[in-house]
């Protein structure tokens, strides 16, 4: 008797079980996350099908697409069977999904509180594997004038210079600003450095008559507002 083959290529699967054919016959909602990623990958290897490779990748990130969405091309390329081109395809697809979600939830033009500030800034700060510091520039009646990136940092922090922040605010003739940065760790709790920097910027804003209305920390799928927490 021939040895039993433990690995079966996708081509040998029943047609209704192949990801592309399954999507065509049953619709996109019938496919699992692994099957959808397998379509992006296109092919596996001699020892592993594209679906098995996709399952292995998802398992590594706890089957959490949000965690997968934070991965860099270099990190994803470390998986055997995933080269740079396949990694870029996966990341591009996840980014398209994120942007679709953003277009369905249109960013507010008037800031009415921490929630609307978060909705305005979340697409820029969520799913990053490094810290960034942004400011939301507001005119009269809290109308959004612009969103500006102030600095980029590493996994544990970034430097936000108050001189740069208020230089940008003055250029846009902003009446007030909202500060925002992300925590790649997923922890929403502000550090002492976050608190000290916020106080420093608030004090500078009073001198220039530019109000600092809030500081938003974005982490995971949530946010923390310094204003709501009484930390301003």
> Is 209 part of any domain?
yes
- pTM passes above 0.75: no
- Pick the closest to residue 164 from 155, 182, 177 (CA basis): 177
- 71: confidence class by pLDDT, cuts 50, 70, 90: confident
Mean pLDDT in residue range 5-33 = 69
Give yes or no for a contact between 53 and 79, defined as CB atoms under 8 angstroms apart.
yes
Question: Does one domain contain both 137 and 164?
Answer: yes
Question: Does one domain contain both 79 and 114?
Answer: no
pLDDT at 21: 86
Number of domain units in the chain? 2
69 pLDDT more than 70: yes
Distances (CA, A) of 228 to 43, 111, 200, 231: 49, 14, 19, 8
Mean pLDDT in residue range 68-91 = 89
Mean pLDDT in residue range 15-28 = 75
- 47: confidence class by pLDDT, cuts 50, 70, 90: confident
Instruction: Quickly count: other Cβ atoms within 10 Å of residue 154's Cβ.
Output: 10
Among candidate residues 88, 103, 118, the one where a domain is terminated: 103
pLDDT at 103: 65
* β-strand partners of 20: none
Which domain CATH number covers 211? Answer: 3.40.140.10
16 pLDDT more than 80: no
- 15: confidence class by pLDDT, cuts 50, 70, 90: very low
* β-strand partners of 138: 144, 176
Question: Does one domain contain both 123 and 217?
Answer: yes
Task: Tell me if residue 131 falls in helix, strand or coil.
Answer: coil
7 pLDDT more than 60: no
Mean pLDDT in residue range 61-66 = 87
Distances (CA, A) of 76 to 17, 69, 70, 168, 183: 26, 10, 10, 36, 21
Question: Does one domain contain both 111 and 221?
Answer: yes
Mean pLDDT in residue range 166-170 = 96
pLDDT at 118: 94
Mean pLDDT in residue range 89-118 = 81
pLDDT at 104: 55
Question: Does one domain contain both 80 and 121?
Answer: no
Question: Does one domain contain both 117 and 217?
Answer: yes
Q: What does pLDDT average to over the chain?
A: 86
Note down the domain range covering 120.
107-225
124 pLDDT more than 50: yes
Among candidate residues 103, 118, 135, the one where a domain is terminated: 103
> Is 2 part of any domain?
no
Distances (CA, A) of 107 to 99, 146, 166: 12, 12, 24
> Is 130 part of any domain?
yes
Which domain CATH number covers 84? Answer: 1.10.150
Question: Does one domain contain both 72 and 178?
Answer: no
- 204: confidence class by pLDDT, cuts 50, 70, 90: very high
Residue 47, both tokens: 């020892």
Question: Does one domain contain both 84 and 179?
Answer: no
Top-confidence residue, 159 or 62: 62
Mean pLDDT in residue range 126-144 = 91
Question: Does one domain contain both 43 and 94?
Answer: yes
Question: Does one domain contain both 47 and 122?
Answer: no
> Is 231 part of any domain?
no
Residues in contact with 84: Cβ distance below 8 Å, sequence separation at least 6, in sequence order: 73, 77
pLDDT tens-digit map of 174-200: 999 999 999 988 899 999 999 999 999
Among candidate residues 103, 128, 153, the one where a domain is terminated: 103
């Amino acid at each position: 008797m021939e040895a039993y083959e433990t690995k079966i290529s996708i081509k040998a699967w029943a047609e209704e079980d192949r990801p592309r054919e399954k999507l065509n016959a049953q619709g996109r909602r019938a496919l699992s996350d692994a099957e959808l990623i397998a379509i992006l990958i296109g092919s596996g290897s001699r020892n592993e099908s594209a679906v098995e490779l996709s399952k292995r990748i998802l398992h590594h990130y706890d089957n959490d697409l949000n965690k997968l969405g934070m991965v860099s091309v270099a990190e994803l390329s470390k998986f055997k069977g995933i080269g740079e081109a396949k990694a870029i395809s996966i990341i591009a697809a996840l980014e398209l999904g994120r942007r679709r979600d953003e277009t369905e939830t249109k960013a507010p033009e008037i800031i009415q509180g921490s929630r609307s500030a978060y909705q305005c800034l979340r697409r820029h700060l969520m799913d990053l594997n490094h810290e960034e510091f942004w400011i939301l520039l507001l005119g009269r009646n809290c109308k959004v004038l612009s969103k500006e990136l102030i600095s980029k940092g590493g996994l544990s922090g970034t430097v936000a210079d108050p001189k740069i922040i208020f230089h940008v605010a003055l250029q846009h003739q902003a009446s007030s600003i909202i500060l925002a940065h992300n925590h790649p760790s997923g922890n929403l709790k502000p550090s002492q450095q976050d608190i000290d920097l916020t106080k420093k910027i608030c004090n500078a804003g009073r001198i220039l008559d530019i109000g600092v209305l809030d500081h938003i920390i974005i982490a995971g799928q949530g946010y923390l507002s310094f204003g709501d927490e009484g930390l301003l």
